[in-house]
Chains A and B, each alone.
Chain A
Amino acid sequence: MSKLSQKHLLGIKDITREDIDLIFETADNFKEVINRPIKKVPSLRDVTIANVFFENSTRTRLSFELAQKRLSADVVNFSASNSSVKKGETLLDTVNNILAMKVDMIVMRHASPGAPHFLSKHINAKIVNAGDGTHEHPTQALLDAFSIREKLGAISGKKIAIIGDILHSRVALSNIFALKKLGAKIMVCGPPTLLPKFIGQLGVEVEFDVRKALQWCDVANVLRIQLERQQIKYFPSLREYALYYGINKKLLDSLKKQIVIMHPGPINRGVELSSDAADSQHSIILDQVENGVAIRMAVLYLLAGAI
């Protein structure tokens, strides 16, 4: 028997190494379940979950919804764009109204960092953070680490480079927390304008040359340039970014070693990753997506146990 140390999954920063191991072991079993002819188990049949998305998403939302359905939970979906949020309802009011309809868990994505943490202080339901602004995206980090563990057998001692728009990326921050807890060595790489000023204090190496970063690492986690979060210009043009930081097959072939390419999606093809690199045998991008369902099933299962 086993239990997570936290009531909610708000960020990787709050959970322990043992929690991550427990989530991985449970996800192993769920991965076997979702590859069966009948992919559904009745574990959460008396749990109702609301997916509350204040920001756009396809992968994360679909992945959560599939995970919930494969666990037999009842699911309601909410997106801010066609709701009363547009009329000025506050976050707490919106969520309290959803909870008044007897919902047990909330999966939330919000543009403001800390929104799920705020909510966790005011409501009783379990909260899973599906991304809060530029802060954390815990299930993405878990599925990334799970995919690395699956591909390379272990995470401890492996060298992982996170390349691209670190400044605006919640995936980067959660990945750094998760991989450090699991004993990996981490390097971040990107143009100086897209690296946070004090990133070195997290205990990661900083590199500005993408070729050197690729030469160093076993795994390259390539992040999307988040144009929607960039109010000012951080680099002259997308073409120039692609020229200096874009990863393509030619660059990968010139390394004289095999590295694993990951991307949390959606890919800006031809910007941070060229098509021939994204679709090469180096890439485990679609494995990440498959593992995402298993990881989210594990997280929901472990949190629902103590409602």
Chain B
Amino acid sequence: MQKKLILDSDLLDITISRLCQQLIENHDDFKDTVIIGMQPRGIFLAEIIHKKLTNNTRKVIPLGYLDATFYRDDFRRRETPVKANETRVPFIIEGKKVVLVDDVLFTGRSIRAAMDAMIAFGRPATVELLVLIDRKRSRELPIAADYVGREVNTLASQRVLVELEAQGQKQNKIWLVNKD
């Protein structure tokens, strides 16, 4: 298994800081903004960003977790059902500016499912998408991210591996892995 490093710990730190600055530019005082991390892996990034934003702006920004398993379009096309995770959205998203956070944007199908899942909680004013890694030119649906940590050219057979300290890894590292 060949692995290529895309982002190391320092670069990741800078990248996340830049994403936070972009959010601050666009959301000003975060009055109506909520952050929603996507289960299972987007929640770690959402937590890191939420913590940084809270420290920088001293504002209270609601943070939720969303699981889109039951809304996926590939259910029953897989051998085994995908295991669901906890959804916790303890605030009202009606009329709010939602920032959806995930680690890797690939085909766009998870994001489509997530938007469906989100509508079950109300009608947000706007929805933006923040991803750490954007796998360019591999989209199967017309979906694009508003905030991108790093764009990467990948093959469909490759996989992006995100290792974060928050997930129990030794160091923050993002890899491009060749499947063999």
Contacts and interface: CB of A to CB of B under 8 A. Distances in A.
B85 interface: yes
Contacts, number: 64
Interface of B, helix, strand, loop or mixed by DSSP: loop
Contacts of B80: 1-3, 305-306
B10 to A, nearest CB: 34
Nearest to B120: A38
Interface in A22-41: 25-26, 28-29, 32-33, 36-38, 40-41
Interface in A41-74: 41-43, 46-47, 71
A40 B84 CA distance: 15
Contact of B75 (A3, A37, A305): A305
A41 B79 contact: no
Nearest to B87: A32
A194 interface: no
B17 to A, nearest CB: 34
Contacts of B83: 1-2, 25-26
B81 A29 contact: no
B76 to A, nearest CB: 6
Given A32-B86, A307-B76, A41 B81 contact: no
A108 to B, nearest CB: 22
Interface residues on A, range: 20 to 34
Contacts of B120: 36-38, 40-41
Given A3-B81, A29-B85, A36-B120, A41 B71 contact: yes
Given A41-B71, A42-B70, A29 B87 contact: yes
Contact of B76 (A32, A33, A40, A304): A304
Interface in B69-112: 69-72, 75-76, 78-87
Contacts of B121: 36-38
A1 B82 contact: yes
Interface of B: 67, 69-72, 75-76, 78-87, 116-117, 119-122
Interface of A: 1-3, 25-26, 28-29, 32-33, 36-38, 40-43, 46-47, 71, 301-302, 304-307
